Structure 1
Amino acid sequence: MRALPFLTLAAAGLSLSGCVVGAVADVVTAPVRVGSKAVDLATTSQSEADEKRGREIRKREEQLGKLERRYGKELRDCQDGDRGACAKAQLTYREMQTLTPAIPVEPEPED
């Protein structure tokens, strides 16, 4: 009769030791997991850098397109005799010239 409580206590001790070992392992590995997460957040992968660069290039291309449309309108107004439009067209052209070097040129396809 006395063996039954002893066996129950022994079985409970073995099962709890697994929980304790698991908890200790979680506590020990927590700093490593936190550190690796911080490093992952602090670094940028090559694909993330490429995506960011692509977004920046598209944004510059859109801005250049807007400037080209505005320049065309100002140039037409200038040709119609509007001196103010001529001055605006010059400023827009300068802005286009400063933006153009920041946009990469696509290489010509080889035949």
Structure 2
Amino acid sequence: MSLPIGCAKRRIAPFVVVAFAFILQGCLAKAAVDVVTAPVRVAGKAVDLATTSQSEADEKRGREIRKREEELGKLKRDYEKQQQDCANGDRRGCEKAQKIYAEMQVLIPSIPVEPEER
């Protein structure tokens, strides 16, 4: 004896609903956790981007010091060249040497002095 199609669907439907409930439980729980923790993760990332760690600050300071040291080295070479021109009687060389020397005097205090090794 066969059952009408409508009756068979009614018997299977509760089982399908229960099966889907178990399957979707994990997905819904994960979605809920993601929704709850998302603001915390976003805020944490914003704080990381907004703050500078001590090592990053040290690296930045080191780069700035090296840049100033390179600039001072360039100025010293130019100064020596202009001093040589001045010694050879070039008046413009004397004027340029004075300007370069003034630039060096402004730059020197911004470069830390390394302790001498003994």
Q: TM-score, normalised by structure 2?
A: 0.86
70-79 vs 100-109, which moves further: 100-109
Residue number in structure 2 paired with 1:26? 34
CA distance in 1, matches of 2:19, 2:75: 79
Residue number in structure 2 paired with 1:46? 54
Paired letter, 1:37: K
Residue number in structure 2 paired with 1:82? 90
The 5-angstrom pairing of residues 4-19 of structure 1 reads 5-19=13-27
Paired letter, 1:78: C
Gaps of 5+ in 2: 1-7
Q: Cα offset for 1:5?
A: 5.0
Residue number in structure 2 paired with 1:56? 64
CA distance in 2, matches of 1:96, 1:40: 38
Q: Cα offset for 1:11?
A: 2.4
Q: TM-score, normalised by structure 1?
A: 0.91
Q: Cα offset for 1:8?
A: 3.8
Q: What is the count of residue pairs matched by the alignment?
A: 109
CA distance in 2, matches of 1:73, 1:109: 31
Residue identity over aligned pairs, in percent, reads 63
Q: Cα offset for 1:15?
A: 1.5
Paired letter, 1:54: G
Residue number in structure 1 paired with 2:4? none
Q: Cα offset for 1:94?
A: 0.8
Runs of 4+ displaced beyond 2 Å = 4-9
Residue number in structure 1 paired with 2:75? 67
CA distance in 2, matches of 1:14, 1:46: 49
Gaps of 5+ in 1: none
Paired letter, 1:66: K
